[in-house]
Structure 1
Amino acid sequence: MSDIFKIAILPGDGIGPEVMKQALKILEKIKKYINKKIFIDNYVVGGIAINKYGNPLPKKTLYGCENSNAILFGSVGGPEWDYLPLNKRPEKGSLLKLRKHFNLFANIRPAFFYKNLSILSPLKEKILNKGFDIICIRELTGGIYFGVPNGRKKKGIDEYAFDTEIYSRLEIERIAHIAFNLALKRKKKICSIDKANVLNTSILWREVVTDISKQYTSVKLEHMYIDNAVMQLMKNPSQFDIILCSNLFGDIISDQCAMITGSVGNLPSASFNHDYFGLYEPSGGSAPNIAGKNIANPIAQILSLAMLIEYSLKERNIAQKIKNAIQKVLDLGYRTKDLFTNSKNEKIVTTDDMGTLIMQSII
């Protein structure tokens, strides 16, 4: 096994470069704890790449990603490029292309909340007191977003539109294995989401996930309809540990998981292929309206780095050091503008200051 680990750094647009700078502060600090030599290379992607090369995913960037062990992604997009056709805009032309190129079929989004930020959550205090730490695992390359045929037909009163949801046994099996293997490292509990009382794809989904569960006898599997799942997330999120979803249902559930935490600015994500090659990125967007103001929240980008360290470098203890440092800084009352609630002892800090404070708190 090589003692060299290469990370492709893709800061992107908007607040991407600002928050990426903070993640790289953390990476520099924790290098000494890692048993591999870490090398990073920066590449342009998204709107800035369009401006420079006329392509949101230049060949040099793609080649750099291919020759790396993991990708740390910032964010892309903004109104500056909205005039372009959809497939040439930063989002579809870079991020979605990377997902397709590397076959990143498994999306993992943690959802947890910091107790000292509970006021930001829409949930009642009695619900939050139970706490929650959820991972949503979403199938990312199949389902209704990619099924054919799709389109629109006819005109006037007879006009109609249609989409097709297709799932193969292989697609369901591989995402299920990701979920069950992760469950073995956590509470050994999975809730699989479907609509098996209505949809044929959900019937197959439930059958295949049940079959796979027989290979993981120590993991408890529960099935839940999507409509009930969104209600249960609001009523008692603490009942969930790992939630396994199709592409469409995962899109819905992961956003609701983010909302109940109170701030999407604190949430990272990762996307993997069958070799566990990963692309790590914040769950939020490029926020061009606050770009360059040094007020963006870098926590999601820093936690995306922590996920890279945990899943790609297999250094769970070091990832926990980063999480502990974030908790310590928040416990001391430091807040970026989006987290500020005007509560006693809170202190607003800049993006740069928040990154430095977290870096200094890593022990």
Structure 2
Amino acid sequence: MKVLVLAGDGIGPEVTAEAVRVLEWFGQNRDLDIRVTERDFGIANWRKHGTMMPEETWQQIQDADAILFGATGSLEQAGAVPPEERRKGSLLRLRKGLDVFANMRPVKMLPALSEGSPYKPRVTEGVDLMIVRELTAGTYFGTPRGIETLPDGTRRGVNTHSYTEAEIRRALRFAFELARTRRQHVTSVDKANVMEAGALWREIAGTIHREEFPDVGFEHMLADNCAIQLARNPRRFDVLVTDNLFGDLLSDAAGAIIGSLGMLPSASLSEPDADGRRRALYEPIHGSAPDIAGQGIANPLGSILSVAMMLRWSANRPEDAAHLERAVEAALAKGARTADIAAPGEAAVSTKAMGDAVIAAL
């Protein structure tokens, strides 16, 4: 399996280094046949070579069986890069170019982290949900977009929220098929009460449920109500499917259940090709966190758990994926904590020490 590592900016290289160590452990100890290639990407590459992403890197992206991604630079850093270069090396280009439309963001409460959560244990105990975010359409890709100057000299920012039936259908089908492997329930989230694209989303979701997946439990939910329910009763959710913008916001809100975005992995998949192969992008959902970059204190578990998703979805090694997930739980149960998940009074370990703890548990 050809794995391309794009560590990126900020804390990306630090957390990704620990994930690569874990991935290579499986190559050495579990007969996982992998070839890992690492390339600079983003602001880091711009500073070294004057381009966010050279064409040879784009070719390697196209050829990879799986991509392990770190993080992209901050808005402040990106301001120093010409717009054309920003587009060339953007995460949006990566997602759209690979057509990885199905973004899975699992949120599972681990008992060892209950004291680090801002919610009461009776709210978080047993939480195990999957957010499926449509990743290649909607507000982040719709046109027209941009900042324009009006006749009176003032400026207006424009982004277009747009979805086709086909884009909605494939996201919903993915979510229903995933629910069949879990607890058999889908919550489709929209703003059908005020958005025409949301009304279309709701209509298609209901039709797909009735005609193709009547065996799966199903409900519609407005996005604002969903935000409330994630805080009040997150255990009610199994698979939650929504559009690009709401998926971005709600998955971050769900991160509060665990207590840190540093714990959350993700996998983004394309449709399968004729051979059943899906293009795949794996990454923690946190950002580049430039304020703590280089200090060795970032939490690598989101990146490490992204490797678990890679083992499950790209390597077809569900036993190894479960083995890694258990190792993360074991490391936490033995008290390993980075600063973001340490409860008051708990000692914090470094990024590398957390990687060490997971490998020891493996």
User: Root-mean-square deviation (CA), in Å?
Assistant: 2.1
Shift of 1:355: 0.4
**Secondary structure in 1 aligned to 2:105?**
strand
Given the superposition, is the C-alpha separation of residues 292 and 195 from structure 1 closer, same or farther in structure 2, using an over 3 Å criterion?
Answer: closer
| Counterpart for residue 194 of structure 2 | 198
- Is the CA contact (8 Å cut-off) linking 1:25 and 1:356 kept in structure 2? no
Shift of 1:162: 4.5
| Counterpart for residue 7 of structure 2 | 11
1:52-76 Cα distance to aligned partner (Å, 9 max, x none):
2221111121111222101011112
Q: Which residues of structure 2 form unaligned runs of 5+? A: 273-277
Shift of 1:106: 1.7
Given the superposition, is the C-alpha separation of residues 27 and 250 from structure 1 closer, same or farther in structure 2, using an over 3 Å criterion?
Answer: same
Aligned residues: 354
Report the Cα distance in structure 1 between the residues aligned to 2:225 and 2:322, rounded to whole angstroms: 33
Report the Cα distance in structure 2 between the residues aligned to 1:73 and 1:144, rounded to whole angstroms: 23
Fraction of identical pairs, as percent: 39
Q: Does residue 96 of structure 2 align to residue 100 of structure 1?
A: yes
* Structure 1 counterpart of 2:252, one-letter code: D
Q: Does residue 112 of structure 2 align to residue 112 of structure 1?
A: no
Report the Cα distance in structure 2 between the residues aligned to 1:202 and 1:68, rounded to whole angstroms: 35
Report the Cα distance in structure 1 between the residues aligned to 2:82 and 2:118, rounded to whole angstroms: 37
* Structure 1 counterpart of 2:35, one-letter code: F
| Counterpart for residue 321 of structure 1 | 323
Indicate which of 60, 78, 84 corresponds to 2:56. 60
Shift of 1:36: 4.9
1:306-354 Cα distance to aligned partner (Å, 9 max, x none):
11111111212211111111111111111112222234xx442211111
Indicate which of 118, 121, 125 corresponds to 2:121. 125
| Counterpart for residue 340 of structure 1 | 342
| Counterpart for residue 140 of structure 2 | 145
* Structure 2 counterpart of 1:305, one-letter code: V
Q: Which residues of structure 1 form unaligned runs of 5+? A: none
| Counterpart for residue 265 of structure 2 | 268
Q: Does residue 130 of structure 2 align to residue 135 of structure 1?
A: yes
- Is the CA contact (8 Å cut-off) linking 1:43 and 1:64 kept in structure 2? no
Given the superposition, is the C-alpha separation of residues 160 and 43 from structure 1 closer, same or farther in structure 2, using an over 3 Å criterion?
Answer: closer
Please say which of residues 28-37 and 195-204 is displaced more in the overlay.
Answer: 28-37
Q: Does residue 257 of structure 2 align to residue 255 of structure 1?
A: no
Indicate which of 84, 101, 111 corresponds to 2:81. 84
1:186-335 aligned at under 5 Å gives the runs 186-213=182-209, 214-275=211-272, 276-335=278-337
* Structure 2 counterpart of 1:282, one-letter code: P
Shift of 1:150: 4.1
Shift of 1:172: 0.6
Q: Does residue 37 of structure 2 align to residue 41 of structure 1?
A: yes
Report the Cα distance in structure 2 between the residues aligned to 1:211 and 1:132, rounded to whole angstroms: 29
Report the Cα distance in structure 1 between the residues aligned to 2:77 and 2:228, rounded to whole angstroms: 38
Please say which of residues 24-33 and 305-314 is displaced more in the overlay.
Answer: 24-33
* Structure 2 counterpart of 1:234, one-letter code: A
- Is the CA contact (8 Å cut-off) linking 1:45 and 1:94 kept in structure 2? no
Give the structure-2-normalised TM-score. 0.91
- Is the CA contact (8 Å cut-off) linking 1:34 and 1:315 kept in structure 2? no
Please say which of residues 80-89 and 285-294 is displaced more in the overlay.
Answer: 80-89
Please say which of residues 76-85 and 188-197 is displaced more in the overlay.
Answer: 76-85
* Structure 1 counterpart of 2:314, one-letter code: S
1:159-198 aligned at under 5 Å gives the runs 161-198=157-194
* Structure 2 counterpart of 1:147, one-letter code: G
**Secondary structure in 2 aligned to 1:49?**
helix
Shift of 1:147: 2.3
* Structure 2 counterpart of 1:355, one-letter code: G
1:184-228 Cα distance to aligned partner (Å, 9 max, x none):
111111000012233221221112122222222321111111121
- Is the CA contact (8 Å cut-off) linking 1:280 and 1:304 kept in structure 2? yes
Shift of 1:294: 1.7
Given the superposition, is the C-alpha separation of residues 86 and 264 from structure 1 closer, same or farther in structure 2, using an over 3 Å criterion?
Answer: farther
* Structure 1 counterpart of 2:138, one-letter code: G
1:235-288 Cα distance to aligned partner (Å, 9 max, x none):
100000111001122122111111222100110111111122110011111222
Report the Cα distance in structure 2 between the residues aligned to 1:295 and 1:160, rounded to whole angstroms: 40
- Is the CA contact (8 Å cut-off) linking 2:103 and 2:134 kept in structure 1? yes
Given the superposition, is the C-alpha separation of residues 145 and 96 from structure 1 closer, same or farther in structure 2, using an over 3 Å criterion?
Answer: closer
Please say which of residues 288-297 and 243-252 is displaced more in the overlay.
Answer: 288-297
